[in-house]
């Protein structure tokens, strides 16, 4: 943090806030949960990733824009959809959403017009809450609040940025790496590699003996997914592919929850993927692509090429995982029932 225009949020004084140029000030806030990550990674894995993304993206932005004030805040260690094992810290999705909207309002009142939330936690409802809160705050309070890292991370772990990873590595990914670096990711190849590059002393050497593992899919959701994708086959392969991905993720999430609490699917599952393929070399390449993609998105927003509300990922698509979905569904159903009762009474008169 040695650049003159790169500041720590907790060190600012009142006069500095009042001196902000709103059009030339941006802040970065890491937001991730404390969660169990296999037997080999610490519970702060997601926080380490979110904090590094915030600090490194902020540093590069400050270097490229010396006329801007760039502020990095301490991490908010709060999240939802964590693996329910001892050590994981959990709040409900509505609580997370309220925390983030309140934080966003405070940032707007502090004089910020641009604010970036970075995230390392892949929980579906966690990601949905972050993106929904960013959109709500941006609409209500005249601030450009957005979270690019969810879309950035999804592109990498789904294999769509393999070319960039190989460019950063200076070599091709091996067949084993390609096979195990797509699909599920929790305390596996990507995250273990990240921490080997960041703080190798926190990675238990047992990761080298851990083979592929993952949560059991909840079979009823899998069956429903197959039926729905067949029924909607007219939507084309792209639409069906995204639907299958979302339903597969939902089946895995429910299966993992049942596994941790009731032993569903057999042995206890604490990671998803193959940690043994991890390396510091891969971690450095992962970090480089991650921060470059994150910075590119930030640049597009501050240049006015993309609206903050347009920064979203696959987590913003399924209505079922959005904040307050079930409450609104219940209220809608209650209103519909009340309307039917009123209409029925009128027809009887």
- Residue 168, pLDDT above cutoff 60: yes
Residue 229 resides in a domain: no
- Taking the CA atoms of 225, 230, 232 and 236 in sequence, report the sign of the dihedral they define: positive
Q: Which residues contact 267 (CB under 8 A, 6 or more apart)?
A: none
Interatomic CA distance for residues 195 and 341, integer angstroms: 59
- In the three-class reduction of DSSP (H, G, I as helix; E, B as strand; rest coil), residue 232 is classed as coil
Where does the pLDDT of residue 317 fall: very low under 50, low under 70, confident under 90, or very high at 90 and above? confident
Average pLDDT over residues 259-288: 95
DSSP class of 186: B
Q: Which of 126-130, 313-317, 329-333 has the lowest mean pLDDT?
A: 329-333
Please state, rounded to an integer, the average pLDDT across all residues of the chain: 90
Number of domains in the chain: 1
Q: Which residues contact 113 (CB under 8 A, 6 or more apart)?
A: 22, 23, 25, 142, 143, 144
- Residue 347, pLDDT above cutoff 80: no
| Token pair belonging to 47 | 């926080």
User: The CATH number of the domain where 144 resides is what?
Assistant: 3.40.50.10310
pLDDT of 320? 83
Q: How many Cβ atoms sit within 10 Å of the Cβ of residue 331?
A: 11
| Residue span of the structural domain in which 13 resides | 6-185+280-317
- Total residue length of the chain: 349
Q: Which of 94-98, 234-238, 247-251 has the lowest mean pLDDT?
A: 234-238
Residue 297 resides in a domain: yes
- Residue 348, pLDDT above cutoff 70: no
Interatomic CA distance for residues 110 and 15, integer angstroms: 11
- In the three-class reduction of DSSP (H, G, I as helix; E, B as strand; rest coil), residue 94 is classed as helix
pLDDT of 341? 54
Residue 326 resides in a domain: no
Residue 109 resides in a domain: yes
Q: Return the percentage of the chain with pLDDT > 90, whole number.
A: 75
pLDDT of 160? 95
More confident residue, 10 or 236: 10
Residue 144 resides in a domain: yes
What spatial distance separates the first Cα and last Cα of the chain, rounded to whole Å?
75
| H or E element in which residue 143 lies | none
Half-sphere exposure of 88 (CA within 13 A, CB side): 18
More confident residue, 56 or 247: 56
Q: Which residues contact 341 (CB under 8 A, 6 or more apart)?
A: none
pLDDT of 349? 64
pLDDT of 263? 92
What's the pTM? 0.89
Where does the pLDDT of residue 236 fall: very low under 50, low under 70, confident under 90, or very high at 90 and above? low
pLDDT of 328? 62
More confident residue, 199 or 326: 199
Q: What is the pLDDT of residues 33-65, one digit of tens each?
A: 999 999 999 999 999 999 999 999 999 999 999
| Token pair belonging to 181 | 């670096």
- Residue listed under structure tokens 């339903």: 247
Interatomic CA distance for residues 20 and 28, integer angstroms: 15
Average pLDDT over residues 267-282: 96
- Residue 333, pLDDT above cutoff 60: no
With the CA atoms of 276, 216, 83 and 228 taken in that order, what torsion angle do they form, in degrees rounded to the nearest 10? 120
Average pLDDT over residues 326-347: 59
Counting beta carbons within 10 angstroms of the beta carbon of residue 321, is it exposed (0 to 12), middle (13 to 18) or buried (19 or more)? buried
- Residue listed under structure tokens 């069906």: 240
Where does the pLDDT of residue 336 fall: very low under 50, low under 70, confident under 90, or very high at 90 and above? low
Closest CA to 222 of 242, 248, 253, 245: 248
Where does the pLDDT of residue 242 fall: very low under 50, low under 70, confident under 90, or very high at 90 and above? low
Q: What is the pLDDT of residues 186-201, one digit of tens each?
A: 999 999 999 999 999 9
Closest CA to 20 of 72, 70, 74, 57: 70
- Residue listed under structure tokens 């999430």: 253
- Give 97-134 as a DSSP string: HHHHHHHHHHHHHTT-SEEEEE-----HHHHHHHHHHH
Residue 205 resides in a domain: no
Residue 60 resides in a domain: yes
Q: Taking CA 343 as the corner, what is the angle to CA 341 and CA 348, rounded to the nearest 5 degrees? A: 95
Average pLDDT over residues 197-207: 97
pLDDT of 240? 55
Residue 40 resides in a domain: yes
pLDDT of 276? 97
| Token pair belonging to 331 | 């209220």
pLDDT of 220? 84
Average pLDDT over residues 2-19: 95
Where does the pLDDT of residue 321 fall: very low under 50, low under 70, confident under 90, or very high at 90 and above? confident
pLDDT of 93? 95
pLDDT of 183? 78
Q: What are phi and psi of 94, to 5 degrees?
A: -60, -35
């Amino acid at each position: 943090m040695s650049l003159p225009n790169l500041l720590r949020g907790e060190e600012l004084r009142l006069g500095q806030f009042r001196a902000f140029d709103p059009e030339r000030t941006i802040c970065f806030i890491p937001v991730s949960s404390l969660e169990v990550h296999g037997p080999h990674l610490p519970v702060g894995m997601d926080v380490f990733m979110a904090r590094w993304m915030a600090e490194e993206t902020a540093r590069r932005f400050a270097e490229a824009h010396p006329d801007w004030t760039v502020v990095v805040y301490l991490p908010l260690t709060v999240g939802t959809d964590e693996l329910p094992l001892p050590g994981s810290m959990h709040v409900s999705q509505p609580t997370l959403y309220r925390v983030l909207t309140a934080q966003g309002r405070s940032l707007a009142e502090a004089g910020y017009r641009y604010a970036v939330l970075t995230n390392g936690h892949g929980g579906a409802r966690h990601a949905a809450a972050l993106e929904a809160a960013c959109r709500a705050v941006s609409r209500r309070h005249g601030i450009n609040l957005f979270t690019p890292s969810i879309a950035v991370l999804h592109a990498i772990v789904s294999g769509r940025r393999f070319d960039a990873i190989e460019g950063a590595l200076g070599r091709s990914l091996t067949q084993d790496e390609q096979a195990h670096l797509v699909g599920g990711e929790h305390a596996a190849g990507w995250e273990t590699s990240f921490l080997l590059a960041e703080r190798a002393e926190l990675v238990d050497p047992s990761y080298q003996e851990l083979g592929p593992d993952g949560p059991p899919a909840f079979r009823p959701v899998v069956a429903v997914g197959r039926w729905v994708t067949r029924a909607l086959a007219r939507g084309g392969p792209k639409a069906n592919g995204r639907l299958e991905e979302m339903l597969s993720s939902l089946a895995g999430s429910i299966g993992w929850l049942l596994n941790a609490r009731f032993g569903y699917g057999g042995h206890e599952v604490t990671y998803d993927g193959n940690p043994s393929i991890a390396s510091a070399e891969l971690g450095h390449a992962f970090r480089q692509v991650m921060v470059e993609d994150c910075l590119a998105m930030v640049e597009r927003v501050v240049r006015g090429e993309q609206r903050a509300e347009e920064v979203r990922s696959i987590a913003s698509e399924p209505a079922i995982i959005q904040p307050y979905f079930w409450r609104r569904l219940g209220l809608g159903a209650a209103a519909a029932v009340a309307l039917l009762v009123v209409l029925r009474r009128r027809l009887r008169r």
